[in-house]
Amino acid sequence: MFSLTAGLLLIAGVTAFPGNSLHSHGLASRDTNQPDPVPGQSPLFATYLGKQTPLQAKYLKAIPATQKSGRNSSSGQFNDDNLFQNLLSAEWAIYSFYQQGVDAFSTQDFTKLGLPNTTYERIQQIRDNEAGHVRIFQDHISSFSLKPGPCKYDFRFGENAESYLAMQVLLELSSMSFLTGLIQQAKLNSTKAALVAIAETESRHNAWALIDVWNSNPFAGPSDTIYPYANQILDSTNAFIVPRTCPKENPPYPFPNQHIPTLDFVRNTTTGRPGAAIQFTFPDQTNQPHFEYGKEYHAVFFHGVNNITVPFDTTKHTSRIPKEFDQATGLILAVIASEPGAPMEEFVVAGPLVLLQQPEGLTLLV
């Protein structure tokens, strides 16, 4: 797991009360005899308020291909099935995070924190939207390819609503970053349009949280952060999967997967903000980077539509966050790379690391 996951675990460790963190999946499904609700045409994916999942049982599992691939089929190079298989697998985790929140909490859990009495309602409605994303991504996978099903997920937020809300901001911002990378993988214009539309919805979710929950400026500057190598971020969601709970039919996720070392940072020596010194760590002891003697390596920081390369000390694992970036806006993504700018994914040696910049109070907790 990389810093996204490490950050969520740190939040849980700092704020969560002890307790059983493995919530039920919320999969008490709807009557399959009812007509199929359509995202954009059903309140189940927009304004439904209830603990039961909006999804019908037939959509809560892996769905096999119904046609065999062939030379004249729409498989392979003629569609974006692999992209949507990866995205659906990630979406199951995000949807499950919100469904678990709906299951675990109530209106009173948030109002006793001094939050608006609509907070739980908004969590339910975001859950509805994410269920709609599941159905949209399933529909975008052709009949020649399997549609991955959900695993069981443990986000370790316990029964603590504060911990849950901190995780929510990080998940929403990170999801927008991997969507910008997936757009660059897309072959079809219809896929690119769908991904932009989904990213716009995720941005609204995050704006709500920054305003209502964190009383923070919701604006991330002129652009959210682009990260071109989406599968490196998608791989982070594997850390939330309860081992051996995925449908056996599911394809490898993400595919392809580089399995590069994860990246974190020492929090008591930095502010984690532009201009600050930073010392990186590589938390997975079974997957450490190898730095060739005499070769120069770089810390590459992504923010907005640009990236900035700065020196990286391979002995002390230190660098400095570029002072040029906007203060307290959006997020910064960092990688260690063998070439300036990390122009290809093969040049990424470790990472990516998420440095959340807003709300500022969470920078060192994630």
Structural domains of the chain in order of their starting residue, each with its CATH number:
3-67+75-220 (1.20.1260), 264-365 (2.60.40)
pTM exceeds 0.85 = yes
The predicted-structure confidence for 191-221, as pLDDT tens digits, reads as follows 999 999 999 999 999 999 999 999 999 999 9
**Ranges of H-type helices in 270-319:** none
Tell me: pLDDT of 70 over 90: no
Q: How confident is residue 16, by pLDDT bands cut at 50, 70 and 90?
A: very low
Q: Which DSSP category does 62 fall into?
A: -
Distance CA 149, CA 135 (A): 11
CA distances 158 to 19, 25, 110, 244, Å, are: 6, 14, 15, 22
When computed from its CA atoms, the radius of gyration of the chain, rounded to whole angstroms, is 20
Q: How confident is residue 252, by pLDDT bands cut at 50, 70 and 90?
A: very high
Q: How confident is residue 17, by pLDDT bands cut at 50, 70 and 90?
A: very low
Distance CA 178, CA 337 (A): 19
The two three-digit tokens of residue 20, written as one number? 């059983």
- Find out whether 277 and 265 touch, Cβ atoms under 8 Å: no
According to DSSP, the β-strands at 298-303 and 306-311 are antiparallel
User: What does the pLDDT read at residue 77?
Assistant: 67
Amino acid residing at 75: S
- The distance of Cα 249 from the centroid of its chain, to the nearest Å, equals 23
Using alpha carbons, select from 252, 311, 253, 260 the residue that is nearest to residue 283: 260
Bigger pLDDT: 20 or 328?
328
* DSSP secondary structure string for all residues of 90-124: HHHHHHHHHHHHHHH--HHHHHTTT--TTHHHHHH
Query: H or E segment at 135?
Result: helix 119-140
The predicted-structure confidence for 105-136, as pLDDT tens digits, reads as follows 999 999 999 999 999 999 999 999 999 999 99
- Find out whether 273 and 44 touch, Cβ atoms under 8 Å: no
Q: Between vectors from CA 342 to CA 291 and to CA 235, what angle results, nearest 5°?
A: 85
What is the helix, strand, coil percentage profile of the chain, to 5?
Answer: 40, 10, 50
Please compute the mean of the pLDDT values over residues 34-60 and round it to a whole number: 95
